[in-house]
Amino acid sequence: MSHTVTIDPILLSKVTKPARYVGGEWNSVVKNHDDVDLTVAYCFPDVYEVAMSHLGLRILYALMNDRKDVAAERVYAPWPDMEQVMREHGYPLYSLETKTAVKDFDIVGFTLQYEMSFTNIVNMIDLAGLPVFSKDRGEDTPLIAAGGPCAFNAEPLAAYIDIFFLGESEESTQVLADTIIAWKKQGRPGGKKGLLKTLAAQQGNYVPAFYEPQYDEAGNFKALVPIEKEAKAHIEKCIIADEEHVFFPTKPIVPNINIVHNRAVLELFRGCSRGCRFCQAGMLYRPVREKTPQHLMALAKEIIANSGYDEISLMSLSSADYSCLPELVDMLIDGFKGQKVSVSLPSLRVDSFSVDIAKKVQQVRKSGLTFAPEAGSQRLRDVINKGVTEENLMAACENAFRNGWSTVKLYFMMGLPTETDEDLAEIANLAYKVLNLYRHVTGRNNGKVTVSVSSFVPKSHTAFQWFGQLPVAEIERKQQVIKELIRDKHISYHYHDAKTGRLEATFARGDRRMGRVLYEAWKLGCKFDGWTEMFDYDRWLEAFAKAGIDPDYYASRQRDITEPLPWDHLSNGASKAYLQREWQRAHQGELTPDCRHGQCTGCGVCPQLGVHIIDNKEGQDRGEIAFSY
């Protein structure tokens, strides 16, 4: 039986932004649980404003509610003031649509977007009134599942989650729903473990309890051994081969309050094949599969009609790489001419073509332009396979300045493999060159260059997964090196907190023992660690001490290219041999070309997963390319 949570409105009025917790938004879907065979609570481990902006959960929510036999509802992390009210008055974590207690759903699914949200996941399981460790949860508790980019190193969360889903899930969630509904109708044969055995045999599904980690005498990870016959040695991600016809929601939920990205969203394509060696998303979502501009235009018309939004964001990993971007932008501007609907492009390539597109979409040129050279020197850009030159950047900036822009934002990383102080000095040099170019082109002195530098975090499934992150003190020293070199009031300089980056690296490259640290940190009160005002580094250091674990073992240790890695069993389709080759090419400063426009680089994704690049300009299907190894 489901428990409905009724919160006293007077208590709700005492918290910040009570609209986060009430639901009832336009286009939200409310179903009677008695009329469906499966109930799903989609949990995002952050506040309403962040969670509502996430496209992945929006897609799954609409997809599941499209079925008559499934009710999918949303659950977001309450801010600490609301959590305090809930704990003091005995309110469990509940869904927004029907205010049903989370513990009464069949499946509770978490999205893993960012390592710094892991404490929120543990906290939300506890707030739901469920035991936090999967081994302690009985037959009457929901199946706790998780998916998203961080699932590709699931090990730090292995003790908390029953099942992880790897890859794109529009098709696999349908199979999941059918499997669970059939299991329920058959009288739940084998109990929860019986269901997990069935699911473990399906593509993309990882049940951590069906494996045991082994360590050598020195305590290094050695292997992950399957202990149930259904558990596969390698789990391949799920992938959508036909991006053109895959389900996409056209009735977005319109939020009650302003959210981080409060606009209509069009997904132009999946994947990226540029091959930047630091970029995890570029590896996880290969290959590139585009939608046609005609289909995108039809989706846009439906979304605007159903939502009343006046802005469409063209979103993908590298939106300006969409092969039909000029045609699409013209179609959108023309199609919504009388409706005052604007088009926004979140990411630009470092080239003049991007600026020409930006000129079209920003008819009133009020916002600045953002470029990401990532490294200051050409040498380091070659190491990371950025494939961008200073000439590209200067040509793009000159085009921008000649067309009325006066503000440019430049994104960089520091702490990259082989980086020297000379490379850092080139960041400041580039900023000055861009500013001087503005003065030269316009004859004015009102230009503004913003330099934003984040500290590099090595991630699994990338060519840099073996690289040890630099110590916090060294990152902080490097931050000051750049600060000393920027002396012009027209250049503003921002950098990220090095301590947050270090913690991120411990989870990104961690094994199951990091789950102990997570538990200690949560008990000490850590949550919302991605929020600067909530992050408490000293508490985390205390948690590491209590768990008996040295954070540097995971974050800073340079790993041998042949050593077993805790995530080796979780595959995105790209071979480890390919990543090893890329690691070696990085050290030689050799570029690897974008396979989308030329030779196959032998990553292995297309033949391994039976998919092809779909590029509307290069020809619909790139299946004729010979795969090289």
Residue 297: which residues within 8 A CB-CB, separation 6 or more? 328, 331, 332, 335
Q: What pLDDT, on a 0 to 100 scale, did the predictor assign at position 619?
A: 54
Residue 206: pLDDT above 60?
yes
pLDDT digits (tens, 9 = 90+) for 351-400: 877 888 888 887 644 568 899 999 999 999 999 999 899 999 999 999 99
Q: What pLDDT, on a 0 to 100 scale, did the predictor assign at position 629?
A: 34
In which residue ranges of the chain is CATH 3.30.750.200 found? 365-513+549-574
Cβ atoms of residues 149 and 281 within 8 Å: yes
Q: What pLDDT, on a 0 to 100 scale, did the predictor assign at position 347?
A: 75
Q: What pLDDT, on a 0 to 100 scale, did the predictor assign at position 50?
A: 94
The mean pLDDT of 173-188, rounded to a whole number, is 97
pLDDT digits (tens, 9 = 90+) for 232-260: 999 999 999 999 999 999 999 999 998 88
Cβ atoms of residues 133 and 159 within 8 Å: yes
Q: What pLDDT, on a 0 to 100 scale, did the predictor assign at position 618?
A: 67
- Give the Å distances, CA to CA, from 628 to 513, 533, 574, 578, 600: 38, 49, 13, 11, 6
Cβ atoms of residues 122 and 160 within 8 Å: yes
Cβ atoms of residues 117 and 45 within 8 Å: yes
Concatenated DSSP letters of 114-174: -GGGHHHHHHHHHHTT--SSGGG--TTSPEEEEESGGGGG-GGGTTT-SEEE-B--TTHHH
- Which of the 8 DSSP states describes residue 456? P
Cβ atoms of residues 17 and 82 within 8 Å: no
By residue count, the chain amounts to 629
Residue 279: pLDDT above 50?
yes
CATH architecture of 365-513+549-574: 2-Layer Sandwich (3.30)
Q: What pLDDT, on a 0 to 100 scale, did the predictor assign at position 318?
A: 86
Looking at the DSSP assignment, which residues form a beta bridge with residue 4?
Answer: 100
The mean pLDDT of 473-487, rounded to a whole number, is 97
Our CA dihedral for 146, 151, 154, 158, rounded to 10 degrees, sits at 0
Concatenated DSSP letters of 571-596: E-S--HHHHHHHHHHHHTT-----GG
More confident residue, 600 or 208: 208
The mean pLDDT of 71-95, rounded to a whole number, is 97
Local structure of 296: helix, strand or coil: helix
Integer Cα distance of 588 and 354 in angstroms: 30
Residue 620: pLDDT above 60?
no
pLDDT digits (tens, 9 = 90+) for 506-563: 999 999 999 999 999 999 999 999 999 999 999 999 999 999 999 999 999 999 999 9
Q: What pLDDT, on a 0 to 100 scale, did the predictor assign at position 366?
A: 57
Q: What pLDDT, on a 0 to 100 scale, did the predictor assign at position 359?
A: 85
Q: What pLDDT, on a 0 to 100 scale, did the predictor assign at position 346?
A: 79
Residue type, 351: D
Q: What pLDDT, on a 0 to 100 scale, did the predictor assign at position 350?
A: 87
How high is the mean pLDDT of the chain?
93
Q: Give the number of other CB atoms < 10 A from CB of residue 624.
A: 7
Confidence of residue 289 (pLDDT cuts 50, 70, 90): very high
The mean pLDDT of 6-16, rounded to a whole number, is 91
Local structure of 395: helix, strand or coil: helix
Whose tokens are 């789950």? That residue is: 515
Among candidate residues 510, 512, 514, 528, the one with its CA nearest the CA of residue 123? 528
The mean pLDDT of 437-464, rounded to a whole number, is 96
pLDDT digits (tens, 9 = 90+) for 576-591: 999 999 999 999 999 9
Integer Cα distance of 380 and 386 in angstroms: 9
